[in-house]
Structure 1
Amino acid sequence: MVFEKVLVPLKLNESPKRISALATAVAGFGARSVVLLHVAGTESATEDRRGSDILEQRRELFSEAGLRVEQRTVWYADSQVVTRVARELGADCIAVSWKPKNWIQRSFSGSLIMDTIRTTDVPVFVHKQALLQSWSDPKGPILYATAFDATDRFALPLLNRSDFGPGHVIILHSDERAPDPVSESSRNDLAEGTLGRLAARCLNRNVTTMSLTGTPHHVIPRQARVAGARMVVIGKSGTVQSGPRTIGRTAEAVLHARGVSVFVLPADAPVLHAGERWNPEESSS
């Protein structure tokens, strides 16, 4: 399996419905075991004696999804607490349930999820519940938003694997229109050719390619809803070797878009071949 061990950070104030949906989704992309991490001391986290009972209830939800479950509790020390635990445990992936915030909440309050995505060197699965049932089909396609960069080296072998979950793949590239017709024709031909080469690397999937004009942070969420995608796969900016890492404007916009789950890949992810698991140590070598 690609993701043998998935770390799931919890505040314990998440609703059982959201956690049950997250457990089903995690099992759906091939994970086999999870570590439930209670991050105590965060804003609105459950700290009283009911905490252990709630954690046990969450454990049962993941067990019912067919996953092996461990659990740990850590005290919130700083914004990188989940990132550190993921490294200590050798987690292949981090999975979280997303509760949307309005722009005022995002401006005046921090986010453990966003801090984790910025600082971790393993993939992060962000599960969202669709606002409308028709927006997200459990058997719908996986939409991969490519920027024609290094992320393709990891994303395509991953998408080609059947243990990443069912569904055909849409490989989407979007960019703003070139300043003149000749340049636009050249840009579009180059995009179509590159998309075709990427699709050829997904021999185990039914693949559709799309080249659309427009800013990616507008095009990608809209197209995901139109296609009924069950998940968007996207890369983030920054590398392990660089200074403070960023998510990138497009990835952040897709994360804040309502109703579509997102799988965020590190910018310097290694290539996976058949039978290999994700190894976060490779991304820092």
Structure 2
Amino acid sequence: MLQRAAVKISLKEPRKRLMHMFEFLGNFGTKDVHLIHAAPKITSQQRSDIEEQLEKTAKDATNFGFNVYTHIRRGHVPTTIIETAQEKKADFIAIYWTPKSLFRNALLGNIDSDILRLSNLPVFIYNHGLFKSSVNLEQVLYATDCKHTDAAVLPYLVDRRFTASRLFILHVGERAPDPVTEEKRRKNVLDSLNALAIECSHAYNEVQPLETLGQVSKQIVKQAATLDVDLIVAGKSDKSGTVSQMLGSTAEILPHKAGRSIFIIPDACRLPACKNY
């Protein structure tokens, strides 16, 4: 499912940490890597320099066993990255995340955030982090709404090439207004979490359902830190008036807050629409 990666390359990424990202991609069973550099304008001299730098990056990436291809494109960067990824039939887009403030992002915009918002392909965000820089994938936290996003996300979580050994399935809810309704809400959530755990049990050594209350993004970040996971997986949906819509906006907040790598899978990959199935 994740054999072909389209990797956005700005040529400003720290080379050693970028190589850590390529090494991390091995946890997904990735075989083909398309390095894509896009810019609104590229002169002949710039193209020559870009080609040289891309070739160096490609040569380093082949050391991890990938088939590597390079592409230089002109145009609006987020749109061009997405369109090139689709053209090359990539299974997902990978981004080396450079921290930015949410305030600056709101004022000036941000290429990575725009890719995450616009893409109908899954987006992997490699966050080297200050405290979590492992290239191994041992523990995964899936933030579920127990509703719309599961159909898109579950095929990725149970794929045999996804090598994690422990999965935490987290639902962040809102307390109901009275005790009777709250009891029913919590029972429904726990039933859904346990059903998801059973569906994923064959793919992991351990699957643990978790349920908590609070603001979705804050609780995901808190639980990810407490559990010391290597990757957060979340769905992204544009369905109005649902928790999925909240998770959609949360997906855009998490890279700024989580301090660890994140995989965002859009509702467009829901069965049977996803091209991988």
Common fold: TM-score over 0.5: yes
Per the TM alignment, residue 226 of structure 1 is displaced from its structure 2 partner at its CA by 1.1
For 2:212 and 2:71, the matched residues in 1 are separated by: 45
For 2:208 and 2:138, the matched residues in 1 are separated by: 13
Q: State the AA in 1 paired with 2:183.
A: S
Per the TM alignment, residue 60 of structure 1 is displaced from its structure 2 partner at its CA by 2.1
For 1:223 and 1:232, the matched residues in 2 are separated by: 10
Q: Which residue of 2 aligns with 1:231?
A: 231
Q: Which residue of 1 aligns with 2:173?
A: 175
Q: Equivalences for 1:269-280 in 2 at 5 Å?
A: 269-271=269-271, 279=275
Which one has a larger percent helix, Structure 1 or Structure 2? 2
* Residues 1:167 and 1:47: Cα distance change in structure 2 (over 3 Å): farther
Corresponding residue pairs, total: 267
Q: Equivalences for 1:22-171 in 2 at 5 Å?
A: 22-41=21-40, 47=46, 49-77=48-76, 79-133=78-132, 138-171=136-169
Per the TM alignment, residue 123 of structure 1 is displaced from its structure 2 partner at its CA by 0.5
* Residues 1:24 and 1:13: Cα distance change in structure 2 (over 3 Å): same
For 1:14 and 1:247, the matched residues in 2 are separated by: 28
For 1:72 and 1:197, the matched residues in 2 are separated by: 43
Per the TM alignment, residue 139 of structure 1 is displaced from its structure 2 partner at its CA by 4.1
1:260 paired with 2:256, answer no
Report the secondary structure of 2:120's partner residue: coil
1:217-237 Cα offsets, whole Å, 9 max, x none, are 110011111111111110112
For 1:253 and 1:80, the matched residues in 2 are separated by: 20
CA contact (8 A) 1:153 1:271 kept: yes
* Residues 1:246 and 1:7: Cα distance change in structure 2 (over 3 Å): farther
1:70-123 Cα offsets, whole Å, 9 max, x none, are 111001336411121122111111001000102332133222222112222111
Per the TM alignment, residue 246 of structure 1 is displaced from its structure 2 partner at its CA by 10
Q: Which residue of 2 aligns with 1:215?
A: 215
For 1:83 and 1:189, the matched residues in 2 are separated by: 41
1:218-274 Cα offsets, whole Å, 9 max, x none, are 1001111111111111011227xxxxx9982211221211421110001131338xx
Q: Which residue of 2 aligns with 1:242?
A: none
CA contact (8 A) 1:97 1:127 kept: yes
CA contact (8 A) 1:146 1:172 kept: yes
Q: Which residue of 1 aligns with 2:251?
A: 251
CA contact (8 A) 2:20 2:135 kept: no
Q: State the AA in 2 paired with 1:266.
A: P
CA contact (8 A) 1:124 1:264 kept: yes
The answer to which of 117-126 and 155-164 deviates more is 155-164
Report the secondary structure of 2:138's partner residue: coil
Per the TM alignment, residue 61 of structure 1 is displaced from its structure 2 partner at its CA by 2.5
Which blocks of at least 5 consecutive residues in structure 1 are unaligned? 240-244, 273-277
Q: Equivalences for 1:10-29 in 2 at 5 Å?
A: 10-29=9-28
